[in-house]
Structures are given as structure tokens and as C-alpha cells.
Structure 1
Amino acid sequence: MSRNAIVSRVEGERVLVLERIFDAPRELVFQMFKEPEHLKRWWGPRGWEVPVCHIDFRPEGVWHYCMKCVDQNQGEFYGMESWGKGVYEEIDEPNRIVYTDYFSDAEGNANAEMPSTRVTLEFIDQEGRTKLVNRAEYVSAEALKTVMDMGMLQGITETWDRLEERLNELK
């Protein structure tokens, strides 16, 4: 597996598993998901930035953020804002983060029209490199199809490419 490749598979009908190896120590990769100043530099697909990122990094704490399209070449998406909210369930530093991810509004109210996702991130040490495993459990097969149809796989690929670039800046 090339270190830039995301390996994806569907378990059952409603769980999407994504894996990628990063050439960086596990503690550093974990840090990228914990601190707003890091997330602001890599979260989201290319052409999007994160002008708002608040994190209360503890079980029952909330991560509330806004992604905004700043790339005029993205046509109708230019200027669009997409708000999200994560509620942490479990944090085992530097091994694992479990949270529920919601589409939200600027005030942090979950959007009931859009599917929520229970996300488990595992950070596996591989002799100085890190295998990141993202296990996303959706409420239904339809919910998984909805986010796949929205281009989620391309978005996560670009997001993890940006994460790799950020890690390379810091190493």
C-alpha cells in the first residue's frame, strides 16, 4: 500500500472503514486531531479553510467548526460555509478518539435532516510511522449512501493529503 493511498472498505451496510499510513510518529498525528491551531491548517478538502474551530478535548467535550470554500474555481461552492460539530465520547491519548459527528449550524445545533456519524479514530504505531484507521458508523445504509454521493471519499482523500503536508512541515 502506497503511503498516500487510502484503503477503504464497507463493513455490513453502514460502516465505512478508511486506513492510511502517515510517515510521522503516532503522538504527532494524534496531536493534529487535538489542537485547533493544527486542525485549522489541514481540516477539509482543498480550497476550503477553517475560520472557526473550537475544541473542548475531553469526554463529553465538543468540537465545533466551520469550513468555508475560498476557491473561486469551485463555482457554486465558493463562499459556502459548512458547519460541523463533534461530541467526544472517548479519548485514549495517543491511541484512540471516539466521537459522534454532526452537521450543525453556527450555534452548534445539530442538523436533524443530515445523518450523524459515530467515528472511531485509531492511531497505530508502525515503527515511527502511523497507521490511521477511521471507522465511521452511520445510522443506516441510506445515510452512508448519502455522504458517499456527496463526494465524501474525495473530500477525505484531499483532507488526509493536507494532513500529510502539515505533518511534513512539522517533522
Structure 2
Amino acid sequence: MSNNAIVSRVENDRVLVLERIFDAPRDLVFKMFQEAEHLKHWWGPKGWELPVCTVDFRPGGVWHYCMKCIDPNQGSFYGMESWGKGIYKDIVESEKIAYTDYFSDAEGNLNDSMPSTEITITFIDLDGKTKLVNHAEYVSAEALKTVMDMGMLQGITETWNRLEERLNEVK
């Protein structure tokens, strides 16, 4: 698997597993997920920014953010905002982050018309590199299909490409 390749597989019709190897130490990759200042530089697909990002990185804490399309070449997406809210469930320093991911509004109210996701991110040390495994469980196969149809796989690929760029800037 090359560093830029994401390996994806679906398990039980409602679990999406994504994996990628980053050429950076595990502690640094983990840090990219725990600090708003880092997330603002890479979270979201190409052409999107994070003008709002607050992180209370602890079990029970909340990560609330807004992704905004700033690329006029993205047509009807230009200027669009997409709000999200994560509620952390379990954190093991440099090893694992588990949270429930929701679509929300600017006030943090959950959007019940969109599927939530149970996310577990595992950080595996590979002698100075890091294998990132993102395990996303949905309530149903239909919920997984909804986010896949929204272009989630392309979005996460572009997001992780931006993470790679950020890692190269700070290491």
C-alpha cells in the first residue's frame, strides 16, 4: 500500500473501514486530531476551510466545526457551509479516539435527518510511520449508502491528502 492509497472495505453492510499509512510518527499524527489549530489546516476536502473549530478533547467533550467551500470552481458547493459535531467517548493517548459524529447546525443542535456515525480511529506505530484505521459504523446499510452517495469517500481521500501535507509542514 502506498502512502497516498486509502484501503477501504465495507463490513456487515453498515461498517466502513478506511486505512492509510502516513510517513510521520504516531504521536504527531494523533496530535493532528486533538488540537483545533491543526484541524483548521487539514480537515475537510480540497477547496474547503474550517472557519469554526472548537475542541474539548476529553471523553464527554465536544468537537464542533463548520466546513465552508471557498473554491468557486466547485459550482453550487461554493459558499456552502456544512456543520458537524463530534462527542468524544473514549480517548487513549496516541492510540485511539472514539466519538459519535453528527451533522449539526451552527448552534450545535443535531440534524436528525442525517445519519450519525460511531467512529473509532486507531493509530498504529510502524517504526516511525503511522497506520491510521478509521472504523465508521452506521445504524443501517441505507445510512452508509446516504453518506457514500454524498461523496464521502472522495472527501475523506482529499482530507487525508491534506493531513499528509500538514504533517509534512510540521514534522
* TM bucket normalised to smaller: over 0.9
1:89 aligned residue: 89
**Aligned equivalents of 1:140, 1:109: Cα separation in 2:** 22
The CA deviation string for residues 20-57 of structure 1, in whole angstroms up to 9 with x for no partner, is 00000000000000000000000000000000000000
TM-score, with structure 2 as normaliser: 1.00
Give the gaps of 5 or more residues in structure 1: none
Matched, 1:164 2:154: no
1:34 aligned residue: 34
Q: Equivalent residue of 1:17, what SS?
A: strand
Displacement, 1:122? Answer: 0.1
1:18 aligned residue: 18
Q: Equivalent residue of 1:33, what SS?
A: helix
| Letter in structure 1 aligned against 2:109 | N
The total of aligned residue pairs comes to 171
Provide the alpha-carbon RMSD of the alignment. Answer: 0.3
**Aligned equivalents of 1:110, 1:15: Cα separation in 2:** 21
Give the gaps of 5 or more residues in structure 2: none
**Aligned equivalents of 2:9, 2:79: Cα separation in 1:** 33
**Aligned equivalents of 1:150, 1:16: Cα separation in 2:** 14
The CA deviation string for residues 81-101 of structure 1, in whole angstroms up to 9 with x for no partner, is 000000000000010000000
**Aligned equivalents of 2:103, 2:55: Cα separation in 1:** 16
| Letter in structure 1 aligned against 2:17 | V
| Letter in structure 2 aligned against 1:35 | E
Q: Equivalent residue of 1:41, what SS?
A: helix
- Point out 4+ residue stretches in structure 1 off by more than 4 angstroms: none
Identity of aligned residues (%): 78
1:138 aligned residue: 138
**Aligned equivalents of 1:92, 1:2: Cα separation in 2:** 27
The CA deviation string for residues 144-164 of structure 1, in whole angstroms up to 9 with x for no partner, is 000000000000000000000
